[in-house]
Amino acid sequence: MDTYIQNTLQINERVLIAPKLHWAVYFDIYFQLSLLYILACQGLDVFIAYDIDYRNFFERSQMYIGLAVLVRIVYLIIHYYSIEMAVTNYRVVCKIGVFNIKTEELANDRIESVSVRQTILGRILNYGDIFFSGTGTSKLVFKKVYAPWWIKSKSEDFIRQSYTINSRQPIYHQL
């Protein structure tokens, strides 16, 4: 199955870095699953221990809450697996979404700076956000990627190389 980035590569363009999401982004899913487990255990306990009227109320409320949590879990899994990020020799690309697709692209020769933002937990677990700032107000963010400092360093090297290759074009002065 081809990915969005592979389908949109230009002639002579190749993917240099394809950052991956850190496993810590799934903490929200783990939390939701534990909540669903607690609701299921509590619902089973109420079903076994209490009388019919009290049981029906808890069954319905926990069923609706459990269904909402389950829908949220499925949404988060689809959302996280639909994220694609890449640094190519021409541009930086980020695609999010399956049905409603949001893409952000920034040409390498338009990138002014690359910065990293990490929390304390991000420093411990080695993940963070990478910000690519372009000319004007354009900004592209890779959120919660694994090894952000390494990706920043390699991205800056590739961006610098592509900029020097493009700037070696002959300059013609108008007389």
Q: What is the pLDDT of residue 71?
A: 86
Calculate the average pLDDT of the chain.
Answer: 80
Q: Which helix (H) or strand (E) holds 95?
A: strand 91-96
3-state DSSP assignment of residue 150? helix
Q: What is the pLDDT of residue 14?
A: 86
- The predicted-structure confidence for 33-57, as pLDDT tens digits, reads as follows 888 787 777 766 666 666 555 556 5
Extract the residue ranges of the chain whose pLDDT is less than 70.
Answer: 1-2, 43-60, 162-175
Q: Do residues 92 and 155 lie in contact, with contact meaning Cβ atoms separated by under 8 Å? A: yes
Q: What is the pLDDT of residue 150?
A: 92
CA 99 to each of CA 21, 25, 95, 102, 159: distance values in angstroms, whole numbers, following the listed order: 20, 21, 12, 9, 31
Strand partners for 130: 116, 142
The torsion angles phi and psi of 55, rounded to 5 degrees, stand at -65, -40
CA distance 93 to 103: 7
* Edge-first strand listing for the sheet containing 111-117: 111-117, 127-134, 139-146
The encoded tokens of residue 164 equal: 């020097």
